[in-house]
Amino acid sequence: MGKVFEMNHPLIKHKLTFIRDKETGAKDFRELVREVSMLMAYEVTRDLPLEDIEIETPIVKTKSQVLSGKKLGIVPILRAGLGMVEGMLNLLPAAKVGHVGLYRDPETLEPVEYYCKLPSDIEERDLIVLDPMLATGGSAKAAITFLKDRGATAIKLMCLIAAPEGIKVIQEAHPDVDIYIAAIDEKLNDHAYIIPGLGDAGDRLFGTK
Ligand code: PRP
Ligand code: URA
């Protein structure tokens, strides 16, 4: 069973409050999503391997640690996942970025795939799938299946807000995938929106309706 990590950092909680607030406009919303993603990057990379190298400080020679060169990939689910890319790249500038385009059919609520462009070596990379919302879990489940079908073997999922229903779907369908979430909310409403949630993440990021 994949592990679930809910962030408990006060900076994340504070910024999430303003992300949820309906009075927050697209410009501030984008900025806050970028900042929370950057803070979450710190947690999602906690298990990256290190190696010792020798360096010289102005005083002495010493051994010190650097990342051991594990290849990373970040994969936003279009379109709302795009809002999380810049924050991740701020901390992980060497990561490659793949894109998976999915939208949730408003009638059936089933994910419909419309785009895919991935790094050619995804089987060698630790992938972090980005989507602000994990509601029914249908989109993330399909995106992860899609990546596995193309050879991915190491995948984490990072979301801002998740409903318990979506977490269960991912844990059952992809027990090898750990989930990193800024906040776990109460439940879904009748239209499969998260309560209390933040509304439609794509619309709020890009000012559409
Ligand atoms: C939203 C969100 C997730 C999905 C979550 O995308 O960004 O991808 O819904 O819902 P689920 O867990 O029930 O699948 P949407 O389908 O609205 O597309 P968009 O990002 O293009 O707006
Ligand atoms: N997608 C969103 O953007 N928001 C929700 O609450 C659920 C799905």
Mutational test site, ligand 2, from 133, 167, 191, 198, max ligand atoms within 8 Å of CB: 133
Q: Which of 6-10, 107-111, 165-169 bottoms out in mean pLDDT, i.e. has the lowest?
A: 107-111
- Give the tens place of pLDDT for each residue, 75-114: 999 999 999 999 999 999 999 999 999 887 888 878 889 9
- Tell me phi and psi for residue 159, to 5 degrees: -130, 155
Over 90: is that where the pLDDT of 65 sits? yes
Query: Which ligand is in closest contact with the Cα of 20?
Result: 2
DSSP state of 136: S
Q: What is the pLDDT of residue 72?
A: 97
Question: DSSP secondary structure string, 73-97?
Answer: EEEEEETGGGGGHHHHHHH-TT-EE
32, 19 in Cβ contact below 8 A? yes
Residue 166 pLDDT level (bands cut at 50, 70, 90): very high
Task: Answer yes or no: 203 catalytic.
Answer: yes
User: How far apart, in whole angstroms, are the C-alpha atoms of residue 69 and residue 167?
Assistant: 30
Q: What is the pLDDT of residue 108?
A: 87
133, 160 in Cβ contact below 8 A? yes
Quote the ligand 1 centre to 79 CA distance (angstroms): 8
Residue 71 pLDDT level (bands cut at 50, 70, 90): very high
Task: Answer yes or no: 52 catalytic.
Answer: no
